Chain A
């Protein structure tokens, strides 16, 4: 064997394998880099006023994003209202009742819906909930987010229901319970922890969505009473402030970014830990 060739192959082996390690740790480093930047830049600007005050008119310094925080909560509430029941019920259908062809079609559709770009969901919600009534509203924003909640909820519900051992179903039915009684009083409670985790995960995902809100919830400098007015939301404010020309607004965008990033990452951290411990790989 050619000695030079062996040395070449061995060095190539070491170099390439080290590079793969560098790549893996490099990507992880990006996460910490982003986190670090947000904590550094946003931490400075985060104060009590941020949570309690309304935005100041452009050009004045100070003010906060109280209305955007409340707006985000309202939008999340609506998206949960629209999306979670549909997702859960469809998940139950797929796991407990589903036949072959129809269940396959539904699964495929769920995947398709999951892949639709969020801006297109925005167009859809605009056409259904804004155009007919001719004004932007919180409901339209919640509707857009609600659609995005569905796919992850369906998948999580189905997976966790399937993870329940069949002996539980058989046991309940052997005691004379009907199928739906088995599902409602044995299977669902057993899977509830996981399903709720999946739901939280889907809400955490839409909490950061901006594109579908641009022409549904629109944004608002003031409080948005009720459900039929345009409303602000944290991601919308981040976007608006980040592309503005004022340093003070940039400062606030970082602060809002830190709050949003913190919430989303914490929710994900918690949910994924629970999911991993249960041995079901999430979404």
Chain B
């Protein structure tokens, strides 16, 4: 259906024909059309080329290791054994930790901004939160190294160990750098995305929904939590996916605080490694084609992960903005 729409859509004047085409060409309309179209097509070309290069340049590694690349955990450049599991594990764990912190925080803040705060105050705070989203990741990394890592070593880590130390994830030696620290820094980085998208989505919930709930005797919190948030839940999920995609691909801040050690350990205090961090650290020193190819395959894996998440996020947000996440 969509393909036929293109030709139908352009309003073709009745006298359309070679003469009018030449006429339009003389006036530059067709030239401008084709020119801008070429630039738009260039974006398509660049993006396809990006996918092609990731695929093509990781050929050596894909041929050598096949699917086992994804679930073996030996990373040994000297003997040419490459398995991505520790990096995939690290990427997932740091992202999950960051979501565990950022989702409740972000959703709560979004609820405050959309439901409680007066519109002006809400706009001002949203503005500041947009600024937080603009802070470069290397700045967060610097903040992480010199503020969060020491804090982790002296305060947060010991406190967690004292209270929740019986859980395997909060046991083991605490160096300050590791999964949890990376997760905290990531959480600070992604929370602005969750807040600003969720706030927009919550603001689209029709007013009568709230009024109906409160008219039935619900408290403000009950109206928000049981009516407004469920209504907007698809969009909120979208914002979470969007944030997750960013967390997965985040490089600098994580590289600076995760400890860079390719191990799979249950403890969140332990140092780990992520896909983006290993590419950042080893790419320039990769000797040999296989090594480079393995790193590029890691890039491909990362790209596919974020690609899928971004696609899902887009669909969900679109679905809410179109018709609300009303249960059908």
Contacts and interface: CB of A to CB of B under 8 A. Distances in A.
Contacts of B42: 86, 90
Interface residues of B, number: 93
B277 to A, nearest CB: 9
A31 B225 contact: no
A116 B303 contact: yes
Contact of A214 (B106, B125, B135, B284): B284
A257 interface: yes
A118 B43 contact: no
Interface in A140-186: 147, 150, 154, 178-181, 183-184
A27 interface: yes
Interface residues of A, number: 95
A281 to B, nearest CB: 8
A205 B256 CA distance: 20
A99 to B, nearest CB: 4
B240 interface: no
B108 A120 contact: no
Contacts of B251: 117-119, 210-211
Given A26-B105, A218-B284, A242-B145, A124 B28 contact: no
Contact of B129 (A27, A204, A210): A27
A73 interface: no
B204 interface: no
B139 to A, nearest CB: 5
B249 interface: yes
Given A27-B195, A92-B36, A210-B137, A120 B299 contact: yes
Contacts of A238: 138-139, 141-142
A179 B29 contact: yes
B99 to A, nearest CB: 15
B214 to A, nearest CB: 11
A111 B111 contact: no
B262 interface: no
The residue among A10, A108, A210, A260 with the most chain B CB atoms within 10 A of its own CB is A210
B138 A89 contact: no
A34 B139 contact: yes
A126 B283 contact: yes
5 contacts: A13-B222, A104-B2, A110-B43, A123-B296, A211-B276
